[in-house]
């Protein structure tokens, strides 16, 4: 029952959805603002990725984690999900392990495109 959204009240689920979603937006905006600092690309990549993860996690409160995972890996959005998750991971790899700032920026752009594609996959006929 812990992984089921129904164990939380509707008000609690909406509240945590809003908190995570707003945190995601704040992280993304903060990352963009930090981009202009001397080592800003690293901060941008980290905060932008955290923002996308928080935004993605926010919907877990509405649907529940198991239902969200099942939905994410349905055939109609499988490729979008895989590209999105890979771009999140590769951004952090580019920054922390490979030390390639340009590659990190490219993966952030891919994150944006993949998150857009993934989000549109929930709207009938949008893709």
Calpha distance 15→56 (Å, rounded): 15
pLDDT digits (tens, 9 = 90+) for 65-90: 888 888 889 888 889 889 999 999 99
* Domain boundaries along the sequence of the chain: 10-121
Which tokens is 12 given? Answer: 């609690």
The whole-angstrom separation of Cα 29 and Cα 36 is: 12
Largest CA distance in the chain: 47
* Interval 24-62: pLDDT, tens: 999 989 988 988 888 888 889 999 999 999 988 888 888
Tokens read off for 81: 């999900």
- Give Cα separations from 75 to 43, 44, 66, 79, 124 (angstroms): 34, 32, 16, 8, 14
């Amino acid at each position: 029952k812990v992984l089921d959204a129904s164990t939380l009240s509707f008000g609690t689920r909406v509240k945590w959805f809003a908190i995570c979603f707003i945190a995601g937006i704040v992280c993304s905006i903060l990352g963009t603002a930090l981009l202009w600092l001397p080592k800003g690309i690293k901060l941008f990549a980290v905060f932008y990725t955290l923002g996308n993860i928080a935004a993605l996690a926010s919907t877990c409160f509405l649907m529940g984690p198991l239902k969200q995972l099942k939905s994410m890996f349905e055939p109609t959005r499988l490729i979008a999900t895989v590209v999105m998750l890979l771009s999140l991971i590769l951004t952090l790899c580019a920054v922390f392990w490979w030390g390639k700032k340009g590659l990190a920026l490219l993966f952030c752009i891919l994150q944006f495109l993949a998150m857009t594609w993934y989000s549109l996959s929930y709207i009938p006929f949008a893709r």
